[in-house]
Homo-oligomer: A and B are copies of this chain.
Amino acid sequence: MLAILPNPTNTFCNLPAEKRERILAVAVGEFAANGYQKASLNNVVKRSGIAKGSLYQYFENKEGLFFHIFECFTDLVKDSANAALAEAANADFFAQLEAIVWAGIRFIDTHPDYFQIYLRVVFEQDVPRREELVSRVRLFPLEYMGPLCEAGQRAGAIRDDIEPAMAVFLVDAALERFLQAYAKPYLDSGLRLKEKNEQQLRDAVVTMIEVLRAALVPQGQGA
């Protein structure tokens, strides 16, 4: 399924860690700030203090650099989600959703530039192999949530009069938009997540999960 992305050269991999990470950090910042097309390799080499030619000994071209960054991002996402789900493995469906939301919030706090790059990939058209990149990230929560919803329906925890796809859609929309709102205040429809303190944020998450539970639990079966 997943086509292979070009790797950095050995020369890059053998670089001292400090230099390697400095270049990567500068490049991540540049792509986050400007998007794929407008990101300038001249800026990257200038700000990371290396020569233009060196960059082309580390990566095949602009795409190669970008794909490597995106691969780092997907690795970080997978680690983050797996850790969250491991902790909530035995909890019920909605508790697992809550764990996913918190993992997302922590991810955005820790790696805002990577999340910004992800948003750009999702919504810009001129990113090379965009749909393939998006699917690499989205496949994970979707493939996880689909079976979970179906299991919930079989167990009677989720109403069975709606398609599983619709349940997944609504949950996915709410969760993804919640994280977008957290990262981009002008998307939060008045929730003002970024102005909330820890406790208020916690309340907002709990409330959202509670409303989703009401939407998906069999009718007449209150919270």
Binding site for B on A (CB under 8 A): 33-35, 37-38, 116, 119-120, 122-126, 131, 134-135, 138, 142, 146, 159, 162-163, 165-170, 172-174, 176-178, 181, 186-192, 204, 207-208, 210-212, 214-216, 219-220, 222-223
- Sort A-B residue pairs by CB-CB distance and give the 7 closest, nearest first: A123-B123, A215-B215, A173-B177, A219-B222, A172-B189, A169-B189, A165-B190
| Distance in Å: Cβ of A43 to nearest Cβ of chain B | 14
The answer to whether B123 touches A166, judged by C-beta atoms less than 8 angstroms apart, is no
C-alpha spacing A174/B210, complex, angstroms: 16
C-alpha spacing A206/B176, complex, angstroms: 22
Kindly report which residue of chain B lies nearest to residue A33, judged by CB atoms.
Answer: B125
CB-contact partner of A124 in B124, B168, B173, B190, under 8 A: B124
The answer to whether B173 touches A189, judged by C-beta atoms less than 8 angstroms apart, is yes
Interface SS of A by simple majority: helix
Kindly report which residue of chain B lies nearest to residue A162, judged by CB atoms.
Answer: B207
CB-contact partner of A169 in B165, B176, B191, under 8 A: B191
A178 surroundings in chain B (CB, below 8 A): 169, 173
| Distance in Å: Cβ of A187 to nearest Cβ of chain B | 8
C-alpha spacing A196/B25, complex, angstroms: 44
CB-contact partner of A215 in B116, B124, B211, under 8 A: B211
A123 surroundings in chain B (CB, below 8 A): 119-120, 122-124
| Distance in Å: Cβ of A148 to nearest Cβ of chain B | 13
A187 surroundings in chain B (CB, below 8 A): 122
C-alpha spacing A33/B126, complex, angstroms: 8
The answer to whether A35 touches B33, judged by C-beta atoms less than 8 angstroms apart, is no
**Which of A162, A166, A167, A173 has the most chain B CB atoms closer than 10 A to its own CB?**
A173
Given contacts A207-B162, A214-B215, contact A186 B37 (CB under 8 A): no
The answer to whether A190 touches B37, judged by C-beta atoms less than 8 angstroms apart, is no
C-alpha spacing A212/B167, complex, angstroms: 11
The answer to whether A166 touches B216, judged by C-beta atoms less than 8 angstroms apart, is no
| Distance in Å: Cβ of A25 to nearest Cβ of chain B | 18
A116 surroundings in chain B (CB, below 8 A): 125
C-alpha spacing A166/B210, complex, angstroms: 11
